[in-house]
Structure 1
């Protein structure tokens, strides 16, 4: 039998007033969008009407007065997505949550609850927290070391997934006549004792129709990619261009295969910003206008974020990119190292680095046909399995759903109707078997 054809996947990053410093000024965007649940509901329903796979909520546990508007004032992801779960019916719901400053039992319970509320549409975007300042919000003087964060994350996810299997799928007969609510032989404690966590279990919640929430992962360092290849069903990737996206895609899939996984069972979603217009000239004019309106001071703030908001405003803008050997890279390590390496290799000044890295680089600019062509090129060229589209400017997202999505559908790349009820179904991922049910079956077969 031939392998099934690949299907393009689409996600919508719902970022309220924006993760850059100027999006909030869009006249069609409410100034309080990041805390307005109706804005999120309307955006999620628009994405669902366009048959998107998922909506995606980014998050981090640390801010400064210079943080981008959305970061300064936003709703907690799981609370937000619980509201979206009862305001939508098909679209997947992805929440970002750190393994560095939570406990596995709480996380297992929260995501399993969202998964049950949504009837199998939840996903957890696993991060280890790149901002060192987060430590002081959780009773620590220092952030976890980068390598330790990823070791902790691997054990954390393993514990959470173990807790999600606390009940076999038929553990609750609910036989009123016989008075049997639970088949006690199908409830399983975890009894985990590891380097970072000791968790007895069981979790007091059954599995959803998709078995377990989908696991996303976002991390571009070597340790981050290795964790993604180990645990992730999908990754939220950042790519500066097509070639960089191809390289990341090939590397991640190769790592997954080396770990004995089917590379097709880990989906790669680069994040992109789309600028659309009826003509190519107008789209390029809009993109150029946006560039011209960018504030260099704010770009320097964005440049500093991967370095734990290091203040780049103290340096000469037209001197070579500064020596940061004294600055800790124990945050967004992969991104920070790439900036330092690129600045050195290309002899960038600080001003050039700010324009290069202080704004979102993955952008598709053009007419609906041109943008659809580019999406198809990335998809067919194995630079992506899908895309997370940034949603801040309402008009731009409406244009994408109304003009680009139909072209992708006409080309047979993207669905015209949902064919599944769960997020795993949308992504073409299997329902993971309950480990205890599998062990029981294997034990019976061996007898």
Structure 2
């Protein structure tokens, strides 16, 4: 009698001849109706088999397969994009259907165990292996039933049990896969109907397929107080114009601020680190949601530029476009360089609690304040997000606030129903130590 291979053991093909046998078996499966009418299943199946044959099976993980096989970005969200898990489950089901057919029972087996992406190989059954398997199952059943049946009757019962078991296994696998697919579909539906607060906040920008425009401040010839005064937002400094206690201020222009060639040569197109940090955090979030960003300096930005797509305005006192956007809102920046700057409340103009003296030493600053807002700007026809602190630490903390899921949940709770659709403005407070801001706290919110 020919030797019988143990069909329960995992076979590791080591020679090129053995590996070629596995590839031939893989091709047999791929040529069947279970696989040949699909593009995704053969692509992933062939990749995991080849990687395992090359000794790299233990490194097969969901993210690796998503990147290498389905060309997903390296940082893609596997929770919201389960293409690998769904495809593997479908491949596992189709393999089970293939081997359930009696014509393929004696072939080499390529199997995918639940929870794993590395396939297992089991050798082809040699002649007589069916009788050997039946005898083993029959003996097992005979022991359990206390030798009540004869050997021939046990073999017949074992054959029927084995075949029935295989059918139940296939039905079980198919049922599990169906339940998983239904659960995944229900999960996607639920998430679509109940987006997270973070997704709800950025939804109006993400729904617009255009590139997101970032406008960052860069002062060349004007200080922040001069830019603010030119925008007609801040209290005019009386010392600057002693003969005119209430001099008129010019509205912000649709044309960019001009600067000399020397100013560009000496200062360069530089921005404050905190503004860059806020921009980086938000642009990385948008990139993870497949949105491109375009970065512009406030000194070269025109109103027409802001009409090209959704806008994120970075910085407050040194960005005339931010000051222009918040001019009609309830909360805005006020003050003078000689006194201090503060966030004023149009309904309580005497209140100056939310202020910061920018002349004090950095180490002496104990707190900072910021305005964050999401508005629909009628002059541009675009959604604008405002990220503006009084000081540098305020802007950096505000940028972190807008991509923090827990902070967004708190903001949604404060705003209430319609969080995704309403325009709003919020004032934030953050403690500061050596110029570094702590976690922001929401002081107040205005919704319309």
TM-score by structure 1 length?
0.19
Larger RCO (alpha carbons 8 Å, 6+ apart): 1
TM-score by structure 2 length?
0.19
